[in-house]
Structure 1
Amino acid sequence: MRRILARRDSSWGLRSGLPLRFMAGDDGWCDAAEDRNYNRFVKLPYPASHEELWRQDHLYDVVVILGHNDLPRIRGFGSAVFFHLTDPEGGPTAGCIAVTARDMRKILQLCGPNTRIKVW
C-alpha cells in the first residue's frame, strides 16, 4: 500500500499509518499503456486514456494506491488497480478491491507503509 487519496468532503476523519493526500477535481490516473505516464497520477485534462479520480458515483471518495505494477511498471500489466469503496448496488469492480465505507475505516486503521494486501 502506497498512500490514501480522499475527497476532503468524504474522508470521515480517516485514521491510518498510510500517507493521506486530499484529492482535487482535476486528479486522474493514466491507463494508456503506450503513454509515458502509464499507471501514474496525472492532472486533467489529460490527452491519453485515463480515469477520473473525482467520481460522481463516489466509489473513489477514499482510494488506496496499492502499488500494483509500479516498481517496475510493465506496460500492459495493469493500471489503476486500487482499494476503494464498493458500489452500493453490488456492482463489480474492474479489477480493484472494494469494501464498504465502514470496513474501509476499520481496515485503514490497521494499515501502514509496510502493509501488503494479498489476493488469491
Structure 2
Amino acid sequence: MRLVKGSQGKLVYGPLEFDCALGKAGVTEEKREGDHATPVGRYLLRWLFYRADKISNIQSLLPQQKISTVDGWCDAPDHEHYNRYVRLPFEHSHEKLWRDDDLYDLVIVLGHNDSPAVPGAGSCIFIHVAQDQYGPTEGCVALKKTDLVELLAELDPECWIEIAPAD
C-alpha cells in the first residue's frame, strides 16, 4: 500500500488497486495509543470478523468469526489483555466490534503490536469498511465495503500488508 496524501492512500494487491482511508494523522513509524496515525510496517492479516446479519457468504481463506454483541477489543494499555479480543461486558477501555454503523461489518485484524503487545504502542489496528468519501480513521486502513469483499476473496491465509509513507 502506498500513501497518496494525508489520510488517504491506495491499497494494491496483485492486479487489484483500491482507494483507502488511513489515520487522521497519516502514517507513523512510532505508533502510540490514541495518536490517530496508521502504523508503518509489515503486518500479517490475522483473521476476519464479520456481521453475519449484514453480510452472508463471505469468500475468504482467512480464519473467520461472526461478530456478536459481546465481542470487543481491549485498548487499555495498562490491562493484561491490551490489544486482544475480549468478551463484553469488559470494565476496562475497549472497542465494541458490534456497531450501529457499517464500519465494522467486515474487520480484518492486523498483526500490529500483538506478539507480544507492548503497552501504549497501539491497539485495534484493523482493515475495515470506510466512511463516506473515505473519511479518516483512528489509525486503521478502511476500504469501501464492495472493495473489501472483492479483496477478501483474493487473500490467502499467509497474507500480509505493508504500510509505507508516500514516496
Q: Which residue in 2 is equivalent to 1:71?
A: 115
Post-superposition CA distance 1:4-49 (Å, at most 9, x none): 0001112242101101110111111000000011000111111110
Q: What's the TM-score once normalised by structure 2's chain length?
A: 0.69
- TM-score relative to the length of structure 1: 0.95
The secondary structure found in structure 2 opposite 1:18 is coil
Residue 80 of structure 2 corresponds to which residue in structure 1? 36
* Separation in 1, partners of 2:133, 2:61: 30
**2:131 is the alignment partner of 1:87:** yes
Answering whether residue 92 of structure 2 is matched by residue 11 of structure 1, we say no
Give the Cα separation in 1 of the matches to 2:111 and 2:76. 17
Letter in 1 for 2:124: A
Normalized per residue, the structure richer in strand is 2
State the distance in 2 between where 1:74 and 1:113 align.
Answer: 25
- Superposed structure 1 runs of 4+ greater than 6 Å apart: none
1:95-116 per-position Cα deviation (integer Å, ceiling 9, x unaligned): 0000001110111111122101
CA deviation profile, 1:45-65 (whole Å, cap 9, x unmatched): 111100010011120011001
Is 1:23 the equivalent of 2:67? yes
C-alpha separation in 2, matches of 1:22 and 1:12: 10
Quick check: 1:61–1:85 contact (8 Å CA) kept in 2? Answer: yes
**2:117 maps to amino acid:** R
TM-superposed CA distance for 1:91, in Å, is 2.0
Instruction: Report which of the two structures shows the higher radius of gyration computed on alpha carbons.
Output: 2
Aligned length: 120
TM-superposition CA deviations, 1:61-116 (whole Å, max 9, x none): 11001111111211111100000000125321000000001110111111122101
Partner of 1:99: 143
CA distance in 2 between partners of 1:90 and 1:54 (Å): 21
For residues 132 and 56 of structure 2, what CA distance do their matches in structure 1 show? 18
| Separation of aligned partners in 2, 1:32 and 1:6 | 23
SS of the aligned residue for 1:56 comes to: coil
Structure 1 unaligned blocks of 5 or more: none
Q: Which amino acid aligns with 1:83?
A: I
Root-mean-square deviation over aligned CA pairs: 1.1
Q: Percent identity?
A: 42
